[in-house]
Chains A and B, each alone.
Chain A
């Protein structure tokens, strides 16, 4: 008896070994390496300078705080972070407002149409991410139909012509477009599990349409909203492809600067500093989100 129980415990550890090893090797270790790199000097041709140098027979550590000082020495990077957070927050909120009615409709539709609608939500994943952004570039292009029609209409009211390309509007539209499924799917998964009798009971006990939504459906869907928000917020925070292609000179985000440090500026240590800040921001958001959903999951309106 004892043997089999011990065997079970053993197999449990054995099962969690591969994912643990994977996370250690490919997440924890690189993060530590990146943290360490943020205190090193850049190499002459990119890469990193050696952190241990021989100085007259003496081995000395060659580390520095310069990279971190550079971050806090100016408000450029702080402003970039704030701007990126602004984009991430607005994308998340817009996704939430657009995804909620959609997810609710899918969750409450019949079995057959539900499968079809879900398929439509994930359909964009069938083509490449970059190809889809290029498609938006064609739509927003100054000679594209959308811009021409819009400017034609604006001209009727005497308003000047506008460009859609390389504007914050184009950025937001594309960011929302790319990340909407990541909000819809967790929300749908949550809403679909709601017990329909709860709404019947609320109605039976005197709650009208809006109160049924705000007192029952909404609070019960908060875990889904939290999961969706994390899935949207974090990728948008580090996004560089969309600002690169659609953002123009003003549309730069922190992800672009990080990419620049590693690719063009060949300043890996400073790139590591910015990446560390981004990682910490992401971890904070996840922790906040999980705490919020855990609190709400077992909390009423008190």
Chain B
């Protein structure tokens, strides 16, 4: 496969054919207002997406959010009730799955148990009526690519989970599809192997340059792998963004809560000066939030999203006896000091030792539990604080991000 001035040359049915790749920034796959209902259940509600050529795109969401339904629509196993799916600008709705130039990696790999590994990989080439000689060389190449050159004559049953995964990938890529759909392909692997396969997938996608559409409910996996992520919930796309933007600037409570760990502090917008928003946090007092790009109406309800690792926790400077008035909400903490930091007192409610870090859940004056992280030192010292200790929590004004209710 190679590209010459917008023309993509691909091998199909044993012959070299070319496909117009479209404009540089044009979408390879366009999903336009696609809906799918199962009786009264709305699996997909007017979903629209643009996926660029060469992109590693992830559909992320909890189970039942419609991500697998969308993948099956793209693959052609299911038909949308409304909307259109375009590949290179042409609708593929009427094209049966066997004729769509895209392949799927199934959750259970779906390797044919009665065929050897080599026969499995040869399958799509046989279907495309590639000559026997070409099949042999290309299967050998594909086995080299997934670093299992001597497994060709074995049956899938004799392979480990990770090997099956690689063979499934080799089979799906051997006749160079335009698009590879991956349906939670790593969910059957153990944690160590999964991490290793994630790295392999990233390298593979970079090397071959084929567009990947990846479905997962694992937000960590999505962040690690993707160029862009579409977060889905209840059949709708909630936010489409790059991993760093999605993590740092969640657009809604749902996204903030679903992607990574996040504290949500409820409050009300009281003032905005440029990018600096003053928020009155319920029962805590006012804080500055800076770096906000959008305009917030004064008085609107909102939530401050704070990642645990962005919060600093330190031993309280207050004398122990002062803890009595901690729980008093009538004692509003002063507005963030001039350095832009917000400080609040609290006490350690519980803690979780996780090896590299320790999680301290801190109860604030308004009763809200704030999750904080502290990296443990190499010397093995872990317990900086004990349960019940008076602590100060602090974050800088650009640590948090505001989402409107």
- A residues near B (Cβ < 8 Å) are 195, 197-198, 200-208, 211, 215-216, 219-220, 296-302
Contacts and interface: CB of A to CB of B under 8 A. Distances in A.
B97 A203 contact: yes
Contacts of A300: 112, 114-116, 119
A203 B98 contact: yes
B114 A197 contact: no
Interface string B93-106: 00011110001101
B365 interface: no
Contacts of B108: 195, 197
B235 interface: no
B124 A205 contact: yes
A198 to B, nearest CB: 5
Contacts, number: 68
A205 B113 contact: no
A204 B172 CA distance: 9
Contact of A206 (B75, B77, B111, B128): B128
B112 A202 contact: yes
A204 B115 contact: no
Contact of B115 (A195, A197, A211, A301): A301
A298 B98 contact: no
Contact of B114 (A204, A206, A211, A296): A296
Contact of B97 (A204, A219, A296, A302): A204
Interface string B111-131: 111111001000110011000
Interface residues of B, number: 27
The 3 A-B pairs with the shortest beta carbon distances in the complex, nearest first, are A206-B127, A201-B110, A300-B115
A201 B104 contact: yes
Contacts of A204: 75, 77, 97-98, 103-104
A220 B114 contact: yes
Contacts of A211: 127
B104 A200 contact: yes
Given A200-B104, A302-B119, A208 B98 contact: yes
A95 B171 CA distance: 37
B18 interface: no
B113 A201 contact: no
Given A204-B104, A205-B123, A197 B98 contact: no
Given A197-B106, A219-B114, 14 more contacts: A195-B110, A197-B110, A198-B110, A200-B97, A201-B106, A201-B111, A203-B77, A204-B77, A205-B103, A205-B123, A206-B98, A206-B127, A206-B128, A299-B114
Contacts of B107: 197
Contacts of A296: 114
Contacts of B98: 203-208
Contacts of B114: 219-220, 296-300
Contacts of B103: 204-205
B155 A298 contact: yes
12 contacts: A200-B97, A200-B104, A201-B106, A201-B112, A204-B103, A296-B114, A297-B114, A298-B155, A300-B114, A300-B116, A300-B119, A302-B116
